[in-house]
A and B are shown apart, each in its own frame.
Chain A
Amino acid sequence: MGAIFASVVAILLVVAPASQATSPSPTPSPSSTSSNFSISGFLRNAGAPLPDVKISVSGEGFEGSTTSNANGSWNIGVPKSGTYQVELDESTLPEGVALAEGQENPRQLAFGQTSNQTTIFAFGAGIVVQQGNFAQDLTNRLVAGLSFGLLLALAAVGLSLIFGTTGLTNFAHGEMVTLGAVLVFAFNAMGLPFWLTLILALVGGGLVGYVQDAGLWRPLRRRGTGLVPMMIVSIGLALAARYVILFYFGGATEQLPGAQSAEIQLGPISVSPNNLWSLIICAVVIVTVGLVLMKTRLGKATRAVADNPALAAASGIDVDGVIRIVWIVGGVLASLGGILWAYYRPGVSFNMGSQILLLIFAGVTLGGLGTVFGALIGSIVVGIFTELTTVFGAPADLKYVIPLGVMILVLLIRPQGILGRRERVG
């Protein structure tokens, strides 16, 4: 049980591999320290506390160490807020006890708004295989992967639409993802009701999409700037936007309201309500986008522009208008994807979008550049691959590597992607 406890807390506090534990996390009992800031945690192996284990903390010009007490808890006071390195001395562990697989030691710990930081070292055979029930593990990971894949798809569909209509490979799309989550956090901090923050964040995303197109990309298209220079401009924009967000938001990871929730049991599957909501929202939104694309005049016009802008313009379609709408929709979708990503990780940070940018690219490339349904399928494949790799024994800190590797392999065998057409590739 202790290993499960430990792993739950590990997920919430450290960026650690996901698990399917079902218990709420206990908080370690605070012990008295003289300084205002402290780092604490508790050490338990299979329910039994681990006393007399040495933990050392260094950073911000401070160095100190402590040993865990009889009930396994430890606490070190530090002089100020900042980033510290916490190291567990593995040689002081009792015989037969080892850190679980994928547990970072030493690890970096950054203070956010609070004066106490908790970090949990999980012990035992490893978080990934703790339940030993392979089939259940597999289904749970499949659901999580589907949820992750669909939220990637939200961003990927926008990216793919933009690529299809303008030819731009937009490296700044990750920052549009970050923006959604950051806006929700900012509006929430201003005390607005939660539903309003969501609407404002989505509107903000759409607005940024519109402003980007009107202020930057349309003038560049007018100048006849080539696709490669535009791609490099988008890299500059991504860099600038990322540091603007860092400038105002800071380097800490913050939580959105309701980010932590106990998992619920749905038949054989255990899933967190957040993931379930994310799944439903993504499915509804993507089906809507698909229906609009296939059934409405606007959708037809969009597909026409994607196919051949010159011909579309000649047949009376307002190409610039379509592209403007595509940018707005892309911004809204990226924003929504960002909010859901903040709940999936969980946490909001300035680089959360650039973390998944390559996975979004992988989804788009896998499906075939410029095809919307390809982006959907590619993203789901990427999401499921990402989550399933840990089930099949790959180290949790390599879970983003495998989909990227798969993308390179697919390009080797089928360069046009799953749904792409052969002539699109030069």
Chain B
Amino acid sequence: MDFASILSNAFGELISPTTAAYALAALGLAVHFGYSGLLNFGQAGFMAVGAYGFAISTLTFKAPFFLALLIAVVAAAVFALILGIPTLRLRADYLAIVTIAAAEIVRYLVTTNGWTAVTGSANGLAAFEGGFFAMNPFPPGTYPMGMNNRDVFIRVVGWSLVIVAGLLVWLLMRSPWGRVLKGIREDENAVRSLGKNVYAYKMQALIIGGVLGALAGMIFTLPRGAIQPANYGTELTFFLWTCLLLGGMATVLGPVIGAMIFWVVLSLTQGILSGLIESGIITWLSTVQAGQLRFILVGVALMLLMIFRPQGVFGNKKELAFA
């Protein structure tokens, strides 16, 4: 077994753009659930709206990069509005069911054959990242860890975005606005009796978290240069929840560290398992099954976390969105 390559792969996951995308999306979930108590199970839908909003405006409408970015962000905000209007007045579990249904609707809509010309149906879209990489300030060449200049650029942009978003969320949550939001999480009726418009606050939180999800969707697709609708299923949302709960839901650092732990552990288990299989120590598993075993572990980890340490690694038990 080549421990050096397993470790360097795992370290690579620590700063990979996918991890940055997960961190950003999980930060959005932290705004939704950790700070406001909104059960959003449709974060994959927000990511899909962001990714497709960006790709379609680039490919179909030939929009320049920043316009496409703006369109994607506005699309996510509109999606949040459409979701929020019917559901934010309802009980929490209704919001969960409606958001997961809405995310699936988005996935079905971009998969349908009727709009292949625009969405590429099941094959998805590709070759929309040109505008982004045209702005690459890093000269071509070799960089540490075998990266090229594109790899460096997307990592720098992705993690800068995570830092900026984290700062923004941190500042927002210690502002008066954030205190009202936390108040809503603790006792909605108490805040309402103070004359605050609870519905409007919840809607604003839903939009902010959703926009973070849309940005995550873009960071997720840009390095791949391709979008496939199958990537935006409900399991993506569940993985994001696992990241959020790993780190701690009502913290800024929690979702980021959670995403890092999630991907490093996935990479380590995959590396070690396939190493053991190749060297013949484990014979009762195939490499494919080893991949499946990891996701069984994710499910079990999610259950155990929720039962035994619902506040996550960094969280404060007093700040749980539920009693």
Contacts and interface: CB of A to CB of B under 8 A. Distances in A.
Interface string A152-165: 00000000000000
Contacts of B293: 243, 247
A395 interface: yes
A369 B303 contact: no
Given A169-B96, A425-B90, A247 B101 contact: no
Interface in B209-256: 234-235, 238, 241-242, 245
Nearest to A163: B93
Contact of A395 (B105, B114, B123): B114
Nearest to A407: B101
Given A395-B113, A425-B91, A358 B303 contact: no
A267 interface: no
B112 to A, nearest CB: 5
Contacts of B121: 104
A412 B98 CA distance: 11
Nearest to B87: A411
A405 B82 CA distance: 12
Contacts of B94: 365, 369, 411, 415, 425
Nearest to A85: B123
Interface string B308-323: 0010000000000111
Nearest to B235: A239
Nearest to B86: A412
Contacts of A411: 86-87, 90, 94, 98
Contacts of B91: 425-426
A256 interface: no
Contact of A354 (B96, B98, B111, B234): B234
Nearest to B106: A401
Contact of A408 (B89, B98, B122): B98
A247 B302 contact: no
B321 to A, nearest CB: 7
Interface in B79-124: 85-87, 89-94, 96-98, 100-102, 104-105, 108-109, 111-114, 121-123
A229 B295 contact: no
Contact of A369 (B85, B93, B98, B322): B93
A33 B296 CA distance: 40
Interface in A348-384: 354, 358, 361-362, 365, 369
Chain A interface helix/strand/loop/mixed: helix
Interface in A229-257: 229, 231-233, 235-244, 246-247
Nearest to B301: A236
A136 B293 CA distance: 49
B111 A397 contact: yes
B130 interface: no
Interface in B244-291: 245, 289
Contacts of A243: 292-293, 295-296, 299
Interface residues of B, number: 52
Contact of B108 (A169, A232, A397): A397
B105 A404 contact: yes
B299 A241 contact: yes
A426 B93 CA distance: 10
Interface string A390-417: 0000010110110011011101100100
Nearest to B230: A108
Contact of A397 (B90, B96, B112): B112
A211 to B, nearest CB: 15
Contacts of A2: none
B127 interface: no
Nearest to B91: A426
A147 to B, nearest CB: 22
Contacts of A269: none
Interface stretch (A39-47, A111-119, A220-228, A297-305): A220-228
Nearest to A108: B122
Given A397-B108, A398-B114, A412 B101 contact: no
Contact of A239 (B87, B112, B302): B302
30 contacts: A104-B122, A169-B96, A169-B97, A226-B323, A228-B92, A229-B306, A231-B39, A231-B93, A232-B302, A236-B299, A236-B301, A236-B305, A239-B235, A239-B302, A240-B296, A240-B303, A242-B299, A243-B293, A243-B295, A244-B296, A358-B101, A362-B101, A405-B105, A408-B86, A408-B101, A411-B94, A415-B90, A415-B94, A425-B94, A426-B91
The 4 A-B pairs at the shortest CB distance, nearest first, are namely: A240-B299, A236-B302, A239-B299, A236-B303
Interface of B: 39, 85-87, 89-94, 96-98, 100-102, 104-105, 108-109, 111-114, 121-123, 234-235, 238, 241-242, 245, 289, 292-293, 295-296, 298-307, 310, 321-323
